[in-house]
A and B are shown apart, each in its own frame.
Chain A
């Protein structure tokens, strides 16, 4: 069974640029959640995708957007990068969207470290 993988591992961009981060979900999982982890902080929920649709969103501006593909892999796109976007971006996959009281365990990838200069 393949776990959650993310690419690239590290990325350096300059302010104002755009970036795309990729995530392959664990085999059999249909839901992907993205989190931003700033240095010294806990992960913050960005959004979740379930069956190719955005299923919930945290307190992030619209320049953070995403996609989920028919094979349940996902992309996180960030436009007009700002210095504060520098962080570890974590992807987590699960079987089912949750939200109904029962928890569908989220399995995390190793993350993509984004540095904005």
Chain B
């Protein structure tokens, strides 16, 4: 079945530090890949997505590249801000008769001034 594995948290960084959150996946077919962000007390928001191999998704300074050969979709940001503190979820959508998103367990990021 489909699954997503992302690095365990929590992750604590100083403001302006570089961020990497690792994500690998197992899926049938050719999934679309996503990063969602959940701020305290809020629902999930789509941060970025990539729908085919070698695509790079980007938004708000965050980037992730769909690597089919390593089945990975690592999230990166060059300089984090305090406002980036949230829980980040990697997810996939495999299509082909599946209607659901499959999520990783989430990584909590705290950015300190």
Interface residues of A (CB under 8 A from B): 4, 33, 35, 40-45, 48, 55-56, 58, 90, 92, 97-103, 105-111
Contacts and interface: CB of A to CB of B under 8 A. Distances in A.
A41 B51 contact: no
Nearest to B106: A42
A56 B100 contact: yes
18 contacts: A4-B43, A35-B101, A42-B4, A42-B105, A45-B101, A45-B102, A48-B100, A55-B99, A56-B98, A56-B100, A90-B43, A98-B93, A99-B95, A103-B32, A103-B93, A103-B95, A110-B41, A111-B43
A92 B103 CA distance: 14
Interface residues of B, number: 26
Closest 7 CB pairs of A and B: A42-B103, A45-B100, A56-B99, A108-B43, A101-B95, A108-B44, A110-B43
A68 to B, nearest CB: 14
Contacts of B44: 43, 90, 92, 108
B97 A103 contact: no
A58 B43 contact: no
Contacts of A92: 44
Contacts of B97: 99
Contacts of A48: 99-100
B94 to A, nearest CB: 9
Interface in B64-113: 89, 91, 93, 95-106
Interface string B56-67: 000000000000
A41 B46 CA distance: 17
B99 A98 contact: yes
Given A33-B99, A48-B100, A56-B100, A110 B42 contact: yes
Contact of A100 (B36, B95, B106): B95
